[in-house]
Structure 1
Amino acid sequence: MHLQNQSLQRRIGVIGLTFIGVTTTIGSGWLFASYRAAQIAGPAAIVSWLIGAAAMMLIGLCLAEVSARLPASGGLGRYLEYTHGSLASFIIAWVNWLGFAAVIPSEASATVEYLAAQPALNGLLDPATQEMTTIGLLTASGFMVGYLLLNYWSLKLLLSTTTAVTLFKLITPLLTAGLLLSESFHAENFGVGPTEFAPNGWDA
């Protein structure tokens, strides 16, 4: 296999790329996902996180191996073309694009849900259905336009804000975990039986 040597402009350094990877991994669902998983599976939800971490590690190692051996632009679409052929590459590239297209609306929706927890902004969600009201939809639309412009305007602006957002996303969960452990840590919970650890069964 012969790769064409192309001169690419490297305007993003290692730190910038690392921060972009981290900030896209730690999304707005770090509270929603853990909360809803605990509702369904109880403390056993931590097992799903361990399984997910192992799966992500395997995927990351595969991408690291392929990208080191076949350095080229194009991301998942290009690498899959090398390893699995053009059909698989085409399908995954479209799925990847659709996933990126859904990021901005989902982040805007999550922002509104977080803001609705404030008493002064509780009109963003319907208390009965927990769905966005008209004001909530308009607010989410405004956030969506803002996020779109933030990504569109310039790479430099995106990188500068990505660094700040990444640091915020790292510090906030750590502070939250520290506060929860300091205020609500119960060592006796480590001695619970299988029924308490998985109250809804292991198939939940």
Structure 2
Amino acid sequence: MGTRQAGQVAAERKGSVPVGRINFAQGTALYVGAVLGTGVLALPGLTAKAAGPASLVAWLALIVTSVPLAATFAALAARQPDSGGVSTYVRRAFGHRAATVVGWWFYLGAPVGIPALAFFGASYLERSTGGGWAATTGYAAGLLVVGFAANVFGVRVSGRVQLILSGSLALLLVLGILVALPHADPGNLRPFAPHGWSEIGPAAALLVWSFTGWETVTHLSAEFAHPQRDIKRATVGALLTIGVLYLGLATVTVLALGSVSGTTATSLASLLELGFGPFGKVLASVIAILTTLGTMNAYIAGTAKLGAALARDGALPGALGSGAEAGGVPRRSLSVVGAISGTVFLVAAATKSEVQPLVLSTTACLGAVYAIGSAAGARLLRHGTRWGMAAAMTSLATIVVLLALTGWYLIWPLLLAAAALAWCARHWPEPTESAASQP
């Protein structure tokens, strides 16, 4: 075994020592924050516009298909807790070059989507308060600063912040569902598919953004105090929480708003106004802040940790490797993530560009990560429980279909893959067999 491979295996094994600080509740909150993202602000109304009540089929289908994906990453993270996350599993399954490609997809793809999160929340706030593009830009800048500042002090602080954010968000969403229930009208379910059953597909495409995030917490797996026990428990808790909230919100949107849900992108605000009148806009603004900060916090923490792990393993400049260990604060890696997100934000703000390209570019990269990560899971888990391998194979088939929905945005992960392989060719010109790649 070469020195670099031995160091990689030792670093990965080191991650299994229970020296982290994230507990079950904080882990569940991080998952909820990563997956229950800014989609709750607009997508229930937008999908109803695309497919009518039949959009509920798309919601249910994606909730169900999230189970094998979440189960795959939970099984891998529990068996091999390491800040490298999916890239670590890919290294063990397919070698260092494949792991480098996957790591670059996430590390350079996710920061492009972080400003989109900020703009989502900021746009929702601007709809409630007014102020135009200047207000939207100011809100987005403020959200970005708070999100990155929370991670300067390490995952212990960000984990506590996430617990507060996700808990508050869940309570407010439940409140929004409950106050709208008295206004529910089963008649709004007819006709069930006003635009035809074929429109369920486009509705599902809109929802892909809402169901990314299961890979994010794998980069924080070594930060769990008891990863073998709590990662799986946190995954189950998050699946139940997210499934109930998403499906409940989508259902009450169709039942209570009916055709109104098809003409507005602020369906959550409309639901809250049914029960609270004008004060509903205030609650909607609070939810927008909590949702945006929660999702940003999870992605920033996971991406910064991944960058340090990649540098530790030689897939990025070694100077970024500090903080990869459990309990460490990857401030150098965090600064790179901040620089990328900040640059993207400034360009988007200056050009007043749409956030859709940012969203789809990030979705394409994360979809590619899911596909290779699921393939790695199918190989690594084949000697474990049958359900683990079955979950990995099922998630791989599902992700291939969802990945096709991103269309030409797949160019972005292809370019990053070429750049990553060029890095490997320069730094490791002679292929070597990695012991870490042995299942």
The interval holding the TM-score normalised by the smaller chain is: 0.7 to 0.9
1:123 aligns with 2:123: no
1:97 aligns with 2:107: yes
**Percent of aligned positions that are identical:** 24
Structure 2 Cα separation of the partners of residues 203 and 170 of structure 1? 32
The runs of at least 4 aligned residues of structure 1 exceeding 6 Å deviation read none
Q: Is the contact between residue 22 and residue 156 of structure 2 (CA under 8 Å) also seen in structure 1? A: no
Task: Assess, with a 3 A threshold, how the Cα gap between structure 1 residues 47 and 69 changes in structure 2: closer, same or farther.
Answer: same
Instruction: Summarize the alignment of residues 72-111 of structure 1 with structure 2, pairs less than 5 Å apart.
Output: 72-111=82-121
Amino acid at match of 1:123: G
Greater share of helix: 2
What is the TM-score with the length of structure 2 in the denominator?
0.39
Amino acid at match of 1:97: Y
Task: Assess, with a 3 A threshold, how the Cα gap between structure 1 residues 156 and 86 changes in structure 2: closer, same or farther.
Answer: closer
- Name 1:150's counterpart in structure 2: 150
- Name 2:184's counterpart in structure 1: 185
Match of 1:40 among 47, 50, 58: 50
Structure 2 Cα separation of the partners of residues 46 and 31 of structure 1? 16
Q: Which runs of 5+ in 1 are unaligned?
A: 125-132
| Superposition deviation, residue 8 in structure 1 | 6.1
Structure 1 Cα separation of the partners of residues 65 and 108 of structure 2? 22
Structure 1 Cα separation of the partners of residues 63 and 53 of structure 2? 17
Superimposed CA distance per residue, residues 87-114 of structure 1 (whole angstroms, 9 cap, x where no aligned partner): 4433332222245314531232122122
Q: Which runs of 5+ in 2 are unaligned?
A: 1-5, 200-439
Structure 1 Cα separation of the partners of residues 82 and 154 of structure 2? 23
1:55 aligns with 2:54: no
| Superposition deviation, residue 67 in structure 1 | 3.1
Match of 1:199 among 190, 194, 200: 194
Amino acid at match of 1:79: Y
| Superposition deviation, residue 134 in structure 1 | 2.8
Q: Is the contact between residue 38 and residue 45 of structure 1 (CA under 8 Å) also seen in structure 2? A: yes
Task: Assess, with a 3 A threshold, how the Cα gap between structure 1 residues 67 and 164 changes in structure 2: closer, same or farther.
Answer: closer
Task: Assess, with a 3 A threshold, how the Cα gap between structure 1 residues 22 and 139 changes in structure 2: closer, same or farther.
Answer: closer
Superimposed CA distance per residue, residues 151-186 of structure 1 (whole angstroms, 9 cap, x where no aligned partner): 22343432222111011111111111111112x211
Task: Assess, with a 3 A threshold, how the Cα gap between structure 1 residues 101 and 92 changes in structure 2: closer, same or farther.
Answer: same
| Superposition deviation, residue 45 in structure 1 | 0.9
3-state SS in 1 of match to 2:76 = helix
Q: Is the contact between residue 81 and residue 89 of structure 1 (CA under 8 Å) also seen in structure 2? A: yes
Aligned length, in residue pairs: 188
Structure showing greater relative contact order (alpha-carbon pairs closer than 8 Å, 6 or more residues apart): 2
Task: Assess, with a 3 A threshold, how the Cα gap between structure 1 residues 171 and 102 changes in structure 2: closer, same or farther.
Answer: farther
Structure 2 Cα separation of the partners of residues 50 and 84 of structure 1? 33
Structure 1 Cα separation of the partners of residues 66 and 32 of structure 2? 13
Structure 2 Cα separation of the partners of residues 62 and 98 of structure 1? 23
3-state SS in 1 of match to 2:165 = helix
- Name 2:134's counterpart in structure 1: 134
Structure 2 Cα separation of the partners of residues 144 and 110 of structure 1? 12
Task: Assess, with a 3 A threshold, how the Cα gap between structure 1 residues 18 and 66 changes in structure 2: closer, same or farther.
Answer: same
What is the TM-score with the length of structure 1 in the denominator?
0.79
Q: Is the contact between residue 16 and residue 163 of structure 1 (CA under 8 Å) also seen in structure 2? A: yes
Amino acid at match of 1:122: G
Q: Is the contact between residue 104 and residue 148 of structure 1 (CA under 8 Å) also seen in structure 2? A: no
Q: Is the contact between residue 104 and residue 147 of structure 1 (CA under 8 Å) also seen in structure 2? A: no
| Superposition deviation, residue 26 in structure 1 | 1.2
- Name 1:130's counterpart in structure 2: none
